[in-house]
Structure 1
Amino acid sequence: MKMSRRGWNNIIIFAVASMILIFKYVELNNQQSESEQQLAGQLLPQGATILRIELPELVIERVGTQWRSEPPTERSIAVIDAWLHITLEPWQNALGGAASSQGVHIYLANSAAPIELTLFELGQQRWLTNWQGQLLSLDEDSYHALFPTTSL
């Protein structure tokens, strides 16, 4: 059976359109998996706007365009920035029952209920759950950035 020139043109157009769709689908899946990997160690959702953070020994809240902390600290903005941008390593092992825990509540602009995170401590080691409930290992520098001392 012989095909006309118009028939061959239609087949070529269909084949090219199919290839474009396949490449876009593969690219979209790769971007989603990369973004999921990047968010794996994030404490809060991407693009979150913090209104209030209730740490074990410090509360920082937004008042207009300023930040107020109780007890007062000079590093309120640095603490907020750390909570938004620090990336921690996922922890795959189980924690022992002897680990003590403290709650952290973070109120976001787009959510009525706070995000509840948990800080676990066992000796000198610390872990923190993120907004997805994933357990993350907390090194000493990150701990001091997220949980500052309250003395001036």
Structure 2
Amino acid sequence: MRIKLSRMGWNNVLIFASMFMILLFNYSHRMMTQGHESGETNTLVGANTIIQSIDFNGIKIERLGATWRSVSTIELTKPLNTDLIVETWTQQPFVALQSPL
């Protein structure tokens, strides 16, 4: 079975197919993100990511084997709990902000 269309008919088919594809691409992110209710939370750093150093303004925390050390150019009143700081950064949840439409 062959479909016989005039040149104008095929142009209309192409125009509507293009419009459909544009709409599909524009709204596909909504289809993928909405209804995606999973128990896992997004974190700043992935679970399998290896952190070598964290650098704040004047304070740097570096990996030293299996432990951490802090290098500071700022005079601190008490020592840093580097394990707690790194654990907080690796488990910090975040929520992506959506731009208003």
Relative to the length of structure 2, the TM-score reads 0.46
Greater C-alpha radius of gyration: 2
Higher strand share: 1
